Structure 1
Amino acid sequence: MYDTTHKGVFPDDDLRRLLRLLARAGGLLEPHGHGELRLSLSEVFALGELAEGETLSQRELAVRLGLEKSTVSRLAAGMERRGWLSRERDPANRRFYRLRLTEQGWAAAEEVGAGLRTMHATLFGELTDAERAGLALGLDGLARALQAGTHGGHRRTGDDPLPPAREASSTP
């Protein structure tokens, strides 16, 4: 799977090939449609985190998404302009914003969530039980290795650890 003898600029291994294929096939690098909505992948993940956490600080959202605070500030401002979230000063510490989905934000989250649920069911329906189990095991291992931070690649600049990986499920 990994060939260390290749001397090109980028690695020529299965991990890069598969990640590139997933990014291309899934259209992950461009905003994409979910029903009537067009969203970036960051917006999709932010809607999901806010729908699960209900009210988060920008710092908490940054940790959950693995993004820089300044990136999350721009993301939140854009989502606020779209009417999807409200940013209010934290009464306990006025330096921080608390983020909460608006009614429009909940509607967007529900629309995106329903589309993802359907897409996931379709994708997992195309896999055998063994492929689903292998995918869950492999991705869990990859997430664990990335969280360990020993890979020497993209480093998180904050001192906050990523949230723990969720338990892999054998059902879609």
Structure 2
Amino acid sequence: MTAPDPDGLLAEQLLRLTRRVHRIQKRHLERGGLGITPAQSRLLRTLAHYGSPPRMSDLAERLEVVPRAVTTLVDGLEAAGMVRRAQDPANRRVIRIELTDEGRGALRELRGARRLAAEEILAPLTDAQRAQLGGLLDTLIDGPAPGRDTGVS
């Protein structure tokens, strides 16, 4: 008989959690009636973080996807009037992606939907547990902070 694999059990819990989080976020997005997919939502949020309109390749790099995937997402968002392609004034061969007023409005609605989804997901946790979870997630995303005890000797 083999001993239980604690990392395997943890991996399964993480997979179940990410599937649950995705379902809840998708449900809240659908309730908003924007007709935006989670991937399009991510592109809009990423686009909003740029100080000036990025190139498609910049978005692909930031989103860690192939450029063709960004093209497909931009096509859908452009058809919905949320983004537009614009020529770079310094180099006419370069196309930049800009948020439209409709895209900025959609972002406000998306933020509300994400907030509601987060409230639903975190509802079972106390404030102290939420703070602890936040710290653990920071460690998983960014690695241990300098000087922070990781509990590993």
Per the normalisation by structure 1, the TM-score is: 0.66
Identity of aligned residues (%): 32
Structure (1 or 2) with the greater helix fraction: 2
Mapped partners of 2:21, 2:54: distance in 1: 32
- Structure-1 residue corresponding to 2:20: 24
Tell me, yes or no, if the aligned pair for 1:37 and 1:108 is still in contact at 8 Å: yes
Mapped partners of 2:132, 2:95: distance in 1: 41
- Tell me how many residue pairs correspond in the alignment: 138
Tell me whether 1:15 sits opposite 2:1 in the alignment.
no
Tell me whether 1:66 sits opposite 2:64 in the alignment.
yes
Aligned AA (1:141): T
Tell me whether 1:41 sits opposite 2:30 in the alignment.
no
Q: CA RMSD in A?
A: 2.8
Q: Per-residue deviation at 1:109?
A: 1.0
Aligned AA (2:39): S
Among 2, 5, 10, the alignment partner of 1:3 is 5
Q: Per-residue deviation at 1:87?
A: 0.8
Unaligned runs of 5+ in 1: 5-10, 146-172
Tell me, yes or no, if the aligned pair for 2:56 and 2:67 is still in contact at 8 Å: yes
Tell me, yes or no, if the aligned pair for 1:56 and 1:99 is still in contact at 8 Å: yes
Structure (1 or 2) with the greater strand fraction: 1
Q: Per-residue deviation at 1:80?
A: 0.7
Unaligned runs of 5+ in 2: 144-153
Give 1:81-100 correspondences, 5 Å limit: 81-100=79-98
- Structure-1 residue corresponding to 2:49: 52
Per the normalisation by structure 2, the TM-score is: 0.72
Task: Label 1:28 to 1:40 Cα distance change in 2 as closer, same or farther (>3 A).
Answer: farther
Q: Per-residue deviation at 1:34?
A: 4.6
Deviates more, 1:115-124 or 1:76-85: 115-124
Tell me, yes or no, if the aligned pair for 1:58 and 1:96 is still in contact at 8 Å: no
